[in-house]
Amino acid sequence: MSSRTTPTVREILHPRSVAVFGASESTDKFGGRITHYLIRHGFEGRLVPINPSHREVFGRPCVPRIGAAPGPIDVAILAVPPEVLVPMVEECGQAGVGCCVILTIGFAETDTPEGVAAQARLVELSRRYGIRLVGPNCLGLINPHHHLALTSSVAMEVPALIPGAIGLISQSGALMVSIHNRAHASGIGFSACASLGNQADLEICDFLEYMVEDPLTRAICLYVEGFKDPMRFLRAAESAQRARKPVIMVKVGRTGPGVRAAKSHTASLAGDFAVIEAACRERGVILTDDPNDGMVQAADVLARWGAPRGDGIGVLSPSGGGVSVTADRLTERGLRLAALHPSTRDRLRGLLLPPQVNNPLDLGGRLSADIIENAGQAMAALAADPDVSALMIMLSTTPFFAEVTRELAKAALASGKPVVTIVMPGSAADRPREVLRQSGCPFYDRLDDGVRIWEIWTAYWRALQRPAIVPPGDPPRPAGAAEALRRAPAGALTEPEAKTLIAAYGIPVTPGRMAATGDEAVAVAGAIGYPVALKAVSRRVVHKTEAGAVRLNLADAASVREAFAAVADAVRRYDPAAVVEGCLVQAMARAEAEVIVGVRRDPQFGPVVLVGAGGILAELMRDVQIALAPVSVERAREMLRALRVWPVLEGLRGRPALDADAVAEIVSRMSWLGADLDGRLVDLEANPVLVRRAGEGAVVVDARGATQGGPSDA
């Protein structure tokens, strides 16, 4: 066993020595390409080819096995057949290698028992020898600042790596190299790129934490299929937020059959991806939908020009068509065209016809005969506007195309504000493209790219405006809360059981009592006061209305007695296996609006709380806000304000304002209940919560839920 210390991610990305298994001079083979790319891109450390069939590779002495390598090896890269991989990693461990980068496939990703077992063996070796692993099933690492091209990908067939300020972490190797290669064509460089594959040992967060600390990295791009340690990811995201480094992420698995089928509203509305979205939004992580289009380009804009200082975008095009298309597309995506200051309008009035004095700015109706000079002056005026924080040039063909382009780029870049050009034509814009390249002005062929760049940029601007996450403060737990938690049964909860838990956290529930017979129900109703509601209680019936288990507005004893028999019958017809434990007799509650408040244990992020539009419209509108539990009352109020039904709570069109404060209190208390149940929580849902007028409170009318484990495990 080796005496070396386990290397850090920084050390792995800056190796002093690299061993290549299967090194050769044949670029038709993995090991050959790896050797070739390491040399081509000028790796400055020691390069040790390993291959029993060669004496020398590209003039460097070759050793037959890792144990024969001269001097210590920081990183070994292996793209060997799966059947020999594990023994070779073991040899690396014995030889004191710091880290193995494993490109070989055939492990857990195959979903076969053999593949899973082989990966477990790798993890075991990693622990035993203190050797770090990247992969398996990855495509390696790239560190342009260190001249390190540690991958077999043909994407390294570029003349030179471009050192830059963007960190790229991708679970998919193919995406990492495709993204790198596309970015390279636009002159965009990286501070480091890592592909993680199956994350058997080192995972996304190891590299994310490194990049948050790394002074060369100013923006971070992630492609994620699944988190190995979701809570660690959130902590890393919080560090990035504090460091003001934008993190832009594509998380796949947003859609799929699994997202739909779910038993409770809370489970279906707070699905796995919705929870990731909520957790990311709170931490300023920007989610986007395409790793190859727009993500890196936006990171480039953020890394180059720094954090946005506003969200107003100034758009200019030589054509009215370009202007119209751009305005519609930006506005449809919720982006904001800057509102020009009167002084800007005055300047533009000297340059353009009245209909063109506008943002987006159409150069079509210029007053001056000198179209080139006019373009530069108009761009300068637009770029100087105080509400313009970013610039987009939408190039369609125009007379003196290259010259106009040069003036536009010059004036835009002189403003110091971020600028992106979209070039619409094909070959007719070859010279303008060359001009843009020489000017150092970013340009892309697709308005789609521009839209995504400003979407990400605007999202980051909004993230910067949002208050940082504050701890939710003292938990509002009444005296009996701990006792109620302890007593809560395991499995599906009946309505009275769920309400008992909820009430124990100081949340108002409608008055009511269980009745075992019709006569008892009449007695309870008399005590509560008519009219009453009556609901059959059975552990097996989740959707009571659907089962016919609910009768409302019962005005007298006869109706109560009749309803008691009827609901019990209905439940037995609905589910012959259902045991009716009795009926809940409850005061009728009236209010102005309904909401749903729920908690659920997310498999990745633990307890989450949800609030949304209630009643029958809950699932039609899917108007919900989600947060990791617990939340403070203030945070709960922000969640309410973000709902589409907020105007109803606030008092829409002369209607009375409702008691949003009471709802926020309920949301916070439910979130504490969920957090306290923690591992025992499956889900718990108050639906509907009736909301009265401001000052008159809100009350839980119905509730359901399920727990696991139960009192004995607590």
For a second copy, the binding residues in 415-474 under the rule CB under 8 A are: 424-429, 445-449
- The least distance separating a second copy from the CB of residue 448, rounded to whole angstroms, comes to 4
Q: Out of 124, 346, 652, 711, name the contact with a second copy by CB under 8 A.
A: 652
Q: Build a one-symbol-per-residue string for 578-617: x at contacts with a second copy by CB under 8 A, - elsewhere.
A: --------------------------------------xx
Piece in contact with a second copy (CB under 8 A), picked from 13-21, 46-54, 286-294, 509-517: 286-294
**For residues 245 and 366, which CB has a smaller minimum distance to a second copy in the complex?**
366
Piece in contact with a second copy (CB under 8 A), picked from 249-257, 342-350, 468-476, 554-562: 249-257
Piece in contact with a second copy (CB under 8 A), picked from 16-24, 109-117, 341-349, 693-701: 109-117
380 binds a second copy (CB under 8 A): no
Give phi and psi for 78, each to the nearest 5: -125, 120
321 binds a second copy (CB under 8 A): yes
- The least distance separating a second copy from the CB of residue 114, rounded to whole angstroms, comes to 11
Q: Label residues 216-245 b or e (16+ Cβ within 10 Å = b).
A: bbbbbbbbbeebbebebbbebbbebbeeeb
713 binds a second copy (CB under 8 A): no
- The least distance separating a second copy from the CB of residue 574, rounded to whole angstroms, comes to 9
Piece in contact with a second copy (CB under 8 A), picked from 13-21, 283-291, 603-611, 692-700: 283-291
**For residues 216 and 371, which CB has a smaller minimum distance to a second copy in the complex?**
371
The tally of CA atoms less than 13 A away on the side-chain side of residue 318 is 23
**What residues contact 62, with CB distance under 8 A and at least 6 apart?**
23, 49, 50, 51, 54, 55, 56
Are 88 and 66 spatial neighbours (Cβ–Cβ below 8 Å)? yes
Residue 604, both tokens = 């990745």
**For residues 206 and 623, which CB has a smaller minimum distance to a second copy in the complex?**
623
Q: Give the Cβ contact number of residue 168 at 10 Å.
A: 29
Q: Out of 39, 158, 216, 372, name the contact with a second copy by CB under 8 A.
A: 158
Q: Out of 8, 26, 178, 415, name the contact with a second copy by CB under 8 A.
A: 178
User: Could you tell me which of 275, 340, 276 has the C-alpha nearest to residue 600?
Assistant: 275
268 binds a second copy (CB under 8 A): no
360 binds a second copy (CB under 8 A): no
Q: Out of 24, 35, 143, 170, name the contact with a second copy by CB under 8 A.
A: 170
Piece in contact with a second copy (CB under 8 A), picked from 228-236, 392-400, 406-414, 632-640: 392-400
**For residues 105 and 204, which CB has a smaller minimum distance to a second copy in the complex?**
105
Distances (CA, A) of 272 to 111, 600, 605, 706: 22, 11, 9, 18
Residue 242, both tokens = 């504090």
Footprint (CB under 8 A) of a second copy, residues 184-223: 184-186, 223
**For residues 182 and 235, which CB has a smaller minimum distance to a second copy in the complex?**
182
Chain-centroid distance of CA 477 in Å reads 32
Distances (CA, A) of 17 to 13, 72, 218, 692: 11, 7, 27, 70
Q: Out of 329, 349, 539, 540, name the contact with a second copy by CB under 8 A.
A: 329
**For residues 117 and 353, which CB has a smaller minimum distance to a second copy in the complex?**
353
DSSP 8-state code for residue 256: S
**For residues 224 and 524, which CB has a smaller minimum distance to a second copy in the complex?**
224
Q: Out of 26, 239, 268, 324, name the contact with a second copy by CB under 8 A.
A: 324
Cα(432)–Cα(429) distance, integer angstroms: 5
261 binds a second copy (CB under 8 A): no
Question: Is the C-alpha dihedral spanning 699, 701, 706, 711 positive or negative?
Answer: positive
In this structure, the dihedral spanned by the alpha carbons of residues 553, 557, 559 and 564, taken in order and rounded to 10 degrees, is 100
154 binds a second copy (CB under 8 A): yes
Secondary element (H or E) of residue 394: strand 390-395
Secondary element (H or E) of residue 612: strand 606-613
Burial of residue 399 (CB within 10 Å: 0-12, 13-18, 19+) is exposed
Distances (CA, A) of 396 to 154, 367, 402, 430: 34, 20, 11, 12
Number of residues engaging a second copy in binding (CB under 8 A): 89
User: Could you tell me which of 511, 514, 510, 523 has the C-alpha nearest to residue 561?
Assistant: 523
172 binds a second copy (CB under 8 A): yes
Footprint (CB under 8 A) of a second copy, residues 13-32: 30
Q: What is the largest CA-CA distance in the chain?
A: 101
Q: Build a one-symbol-per-residue string for 538-557: x at contacts with a second copy by CB under 8 A, - elsewhere.
A: -----x-xxxx---------
- The least distance separating a second copy from the CB of residue 115, rounded to whole angstroms, comes to 9
